[in-house]
Amino acid sequence: MQTAAHSTDARGSDADAVAGAGVDVAILGGGLAGLTLAMQLVQRDPGLRIAIIERRRHPVVEAAFKVGESVVEIGAHYFSHVLGLREHLDAQQIRKYGFRFFFSEGRQDIDRCSEVGVSRALPTPSWQIDRGRFENFLGERVRSLGIAFLDGAVVLGIDLAETCSSDARHRVSYECDGVATHIEARWLVDASGRSGLLKRKLGLAQPNDHDANAVWWRVQGIVDPNDWSDDPQWRGRCDPPDRWRSTNHMCGPGYWFWLIPLASGSHSLGIVCDARLHPLETMNSHAKAMDWLRAHQPKVAACIEAPAHTLQDFLFLRNFSYGCKQVFSRERWALTGEAGLFLDPFYSPGSDFIGIGNTYICELIKKDRAGEDFAPLAAIYQQLYFSFYENTLTLYQDQYPMFGSDAVMPLKVIWDYTFYWALLAPLFFADRLADLGMLARLRGEFATASALNVAMQPLLRDWAARAGDAPEAPRPMLDQVHIDWFHELNRALRDDSDDAALMQRLRGNVLLMKQLARELSGCARAGFPAIETGGIDAMSADAPQRAPMLPPHWYPAASGDQAMPPLTPIT
């Protein structure tokens, strides 16, 4: 780890180099979004002069630092391949064992609850990130690339350029080590997280209707779900038997509880809940949170109360989800990461949107550096970015009441993954998310996928409400590894395809979405004939019939008025 003396020496050198001077890009905030943006910019254009102004001193503490520790496929690919950090991730972080979901409200017998997850790791890797360790590493890396990283610096004021002329400069006043100075920059990027320095200055804050809160804390030691059962068969469901490496979700009506392991030897824990069903006031201290956990997840509460799991921190956040009126400007400023918008941590999309936003910012700066008119692109990239945000928000907004449904929630998990892996993820992996020609050719596929998802989310919600809260009888693990087409969607993310092959694959993915949508809709109607399916049948009418996409035990118990719909096998 970088020593404090080294950090002070480097900071002083960086401050001396840029004080009162001009740079090409000034980044407000040296957290995950700002540090990775600076790296990506310099990797693309080593001649760029970049300064990062970060209020925290480095090195920062490991473990009890920031949340956003679970990384999924887009974010993992951004860190490992786009930025070339695979060696650090493999050696210094934890390879994730996928998402895992237990429907365990009020239960002690976790080994008798429905479990959704993987028995073996899926082909495309992701990681659990100790944010303190990672940001210390990134801080050292950006300095090694010649980027001025001013940690321990406080922004005092921002004066935006008044024109878009080629010689216009933004001015940032800041204080570092007791000395007030300023820096001028052609481009200004706000990566200051929830401080939202530029967002507040320009009045860009925009609320959304996803009313959710979160509390979280870290404890010493690793929490291993295998310790919750003495049943060797249950423990042996996974090979290797490393449930602890998963992002474990303990789900109940209106909430979920996360368990995320950190490479520094701690475990991150958090409650995320619908504010209407579980008020923040019932959990906004560690004592209250533990009382809440004893009532809703008693087995987990008893486990983490062991003396070995000493408390390291505790924080909470009200109304954590929000949008933004603008993130990219023709006036050469931009917002990235949580300085712009934030969705919900259930599927860990934070690093995904950092990777997507940073990539669009790099494209805009590249065009500007080449003397091209980037203003039209700023508007188009922003429209795309907001569309990804709005489509992803549908996965969470108004859906928390169904999170405890072990009858329907496993089906939602499969649908939501399929939606993510069908278009957005493969386009990012293929480095085509800024390819406007490709995106134009896929306009119809995006529209279809979005319409299917918009219809599917209320269907799932209604289905769960009709099915009620009675738990399903114990059933085999709902193992995603054994769903062949699902496994292939994940594997194919890493394929290196030319445009024609990529287009064919993505169109095939949308057909898979149609087939899955029709199957889910049919199963919902089989149990509840009056349920509204939102036009899914019409939208999926051109999808070829095939054998059932999910094994029978994935569906609600086939008894009484609920049964799998008859499906025509492939011939």
Q: What is the pLDDT of residues 213-256, one digit of tens each?
A: 999 999 999 999 999 999 999 999 999 999 999 999 999 999 99
Work out the pLDDT band at 20, boundaries 50, 70, 90: low
H helices within 210-268, ranges in order?
232-235
Mean pLDDT of 170-199: 97
Q: Quick one: which of 46, 225, 264 has its CA closest to 147?
A: 46
pLDDT at position 561 over 70: no
Contacts of residue 118, Cβ cutoff 8 Å, sequence gap at least 6: 97, 98, 100, 238, 479, 480, 481
Query: For residue 567, what pLDDT is reported?
Result: 43
**pLDDT tens string 134-176:** 999 999 999 999 999 999 999 999 999 998 898 999 999 999 9
pLDDT one-digit tens code per residue, 75-101: 999 999 999 999 999 999 999 999 999
Is the peptide bond prior to 240 cis by the omega test (within 30 degrees of 0)? yes
Q: For residues 499 and 430, is the Cβ–Cβ distance under 8 A?
A: no
13 token code pair: 């050198």
pLDDT band at 21 (very low <50, low <70, confident <90, very high): confident
For residue 441, pLDDT over 90 is answered with yes
My answer on whether omega of the bond before 566 falls inside 30° of 0, hence cis, is no
Q: How many CB atoms lie within 10 A of CB 187?
A: 24
- Tens-place pLDDT, residues 486-517: 999 999 999 999 999 999 999 999 999 999 99
pLDDT of residue 7: 53
Whether residue 344 is predicted with pLDDT greater than 90 in this model: the reply is yes
Phi-psi region of 248 (alpha: psi -120 to 50; beta: other; left: phi over 0): beta
The residue written with tokens 């992996």 in the block is 429
What CA–CA distances, in Å, run from 152 to 4, 306, 325? 12, 37, 30
Identify the three-state secondary structure at position 377: helix
540: pLDDT strictly greater than 60? yes
Distances (CA, A) of 499 to 164, 422, 427, 437, 505: 36, 16, 11, 10, 10
Which H or E run contains 266? strand 266-274
Q: Which domains does the chain have, with CATH numbers?
A: 4-65+132-202+321-361 (3.50.50.60), 94-126+212-317 (3.30.9.100), 375-554 (no CATH)
Is 162 within 8 Å of 148 (Cβ atoms)? no
Helix axes 32-44, 350-369, angle to 10 degrees: 40
Instruction: Say if residue 15's pLDDT is above 90.
Output: no
Question: Whole-angstrom Cα distance, residue 473 to residue 415?
Answer: 22
> Is residue 294 pLDDT above 90, yes or no?
yes
CA torsion sign for 367, 372, 377, 378 is: positive
Identity of residue 161: A
Q: Computed from CA positions of residues 496, 94, 269, 460, in that sequence, does the dihedral angle turn out positive or negative?
A: positive
> Using one digit for the tens of pLDDT, what is the confidence trace for 105-130?
999 999 999 999 999 999 999 999 99
Looking up tokens 């310790």, which residue turns up? 227
Q: Which tokens sit at 217?
A: 């804390």
Helix segments in 261-321, DSSP class H = 286-296, 298-304
Burial class (CB in 10 A: 0-12, 13-18, 19+), 143: buried
* pLDDT for the residue 270: 98
pLDDT band at 18 (very low <50, low <70, confident <90, very high): confident
65-78 pLDDT, tens digit per residue, is: 999 999 999 999 99
**AA letter at 488:** E
Tokens coding 381: 């990239």
Q: Which amino acid is at 415?
A: W
Q: What is the mean pLDDT of residues 37-58?
A: 98
